[in-house]
Copies of this chain bind each other. A is one copy, B any other.
């Protein structure tokens, strides 16, 4: 007596004990149970789990403790139905490299862990007639909280437009900025291939071939441009007949690798726009009975597992895929937060020098 507050009269620990006693069939508690035990309305419990500032601090602490004690976990489906937004984050991808896809997933999951959000994966085929329709349906029906887009679907303006139209938060991962800053993770691929070019130039290579990536990927343009820029710093240009069109697959690297061997005069180095194609070139050399990098230095891009499995191990520009996924997810959760300080939204490739590059042999 004497104290005016009625709220502090609620003994939350006793409430938790009461629950333990009365709940014989070990039913999971609902918001209704929490409200009853804490002697508040469901709305107040709702405010607590949604971090609303409009709750008395003592009440908040008490309810949070009670929630912990009785093991209450809000039902994401019910919250989703009522708020018209699910607790699902979608990852829409069309990347041909499994190592990339898994690492992006792991990065996203690093952020989702210990949140109520789950990751729903959605590979797609951008060339399909129903690609946009399917994507819209997925986003709309699942009422996704947000979507993370990897190259090359991230580069599709029509898909971004659909996301905006549906009011769905999204983050685009791409080699260059294609959208407002808060919607992008930029990987600056150009920088990586510039480094690759400088590395080869400094080793003394001047007759250099290039295998471009798949046309439908913006990174293909960026990686090629960066490489040519890097060489230009040393006054080196690549003649058109030393430029080949790959598609980012091992098989294309293998096929183009043997074409490169037939060039006359042959180049002393080749830049393949990703590790898979670089691995293909190495294999073409082995098939031809050569021992790289003796007659031909090879540089890749990505530094995924393949880079260290092949022999010689690849000199390559690293794409920090897991970190990229992590940044994308962090950025996604900042999207609705105006005041939250924005974190990093770009990564820079770093050249990893290994055994697939060396100085060119003196011409005989």
| B-binding residues in A (CB < 8 A) | 28, 73, 75-78, 80-81, 86, 88, 98-99, 101-103, 105-106, 109, 116, 118-123, 137-138, 140-143, 250, 276, 279, 282-283, 286, 305-306, 308-313
In the bound complex, CA of A199 to CA of B320 (Å): 40
- Tell me if B73 and A77 are in contact (CB < 8 A): no
Q: From B80, B118, B122, B282, give the contact of A311 (CB < 8 A).
A: B282
Docked complex Cα distance between A282 and B143 (Å): 49
Bound CA–CA A141/B313 (angstroms): 45
Residues of chain B within 8 A of A282, CB atoms compared? 311
Most chain-B CB neighbours within 10 Å: which of A78, A120, A306, A310?
A310
> Could you pull out 7 A-B pairs where Cβ atoms are within 8 angstroms?
A73-B140, A75-B81, A118-B142, A250-B308, A282-B311, A283-B311, A305-B306
Contact of A119 among B121, B143, B276 (CB under 8 A): B121
Give this chain's copy count. Answer: 2
CB distance from A361 to the nearest CB of B (A): 19
B305 touches A250 (CB 8 A): yes
Q: Is the CB of B101 within 8 A of A143?
A: no
Please, which residues of chain B bring their CB within 8 A of the CB of A276? 309
A141–B309 touching, CB < 8 Å: no
**Nearest CB of chain B from residue A232's CB, rounded to whole Å:** 32
B141 & A76 in contact (Cβ 8 Å cutoff)? yes
Contacts of A116 in B (CB 8 A): 141
Closest 3 pairs (CB-CB, A-B): A98-B102, A286-B311, A77-B80
Residues on B with C-beta less than 8 A from A88 are 118, 120
A279 to B305 Cα, complex, angstroms: 11
Residue contact B119 to A120, C-beta cutoff 8 Å: yes
A81 and B77 contact, CB distance less than 8 A: yes
Whole-angstrom distance between the Cβ of A140 and the nearest chain B Cβ: 7
- The closest CB in chain B to the CB of A141 belongs to B73
Report the Cα distance A137→B116, complex, angstroms. Answer: 11
Residues of B within 8 A of A101 (CB): 98, 102
Closest-CB distance, A75 to chain B (whole angstroms):
7
Q: Which residues of B contact A142 (CB under 8 A)?
A: 76, 118
Given A77-B86, A98-B98, A309-B306, the answer on whether A121 and B109 have CB atoms closer than 8 Å is yes
- Give the docked Cα–Cα distance between A64 and B73 (Å): 37
Say whether A250 contacts B73, CB under 8 Å.
no
> Which B residues touch A140, using CB under 8 A?
28, 73
Q: Which of B103, B143, B286 contacts A98 (CB 8 A)?
A: B103
CB-defined contacts of A75 to chain B, threshold 8 Å: 81, 141
* Nearest CB of chain B from residue A92's CB, rounded to whole Å: 12
How near does chain B come to A302, taking the closest CB pair, in angstroms? 13
CA of A282 to CA of B103, assembled, Å: 25
CA distance A282 to B286 in the complex (A): 14
- Complex CA gap A286/B80 in Å reads 56
Which residues of chain B have C-beta atoms less than 8 A from A81's C-beta? 75, 77-78, 81
Q: Which residue of B lies closest to A308 (CB)?
A: B250
Least Cβ–Cβ distance between A148 and chain B, in angstroms: 13
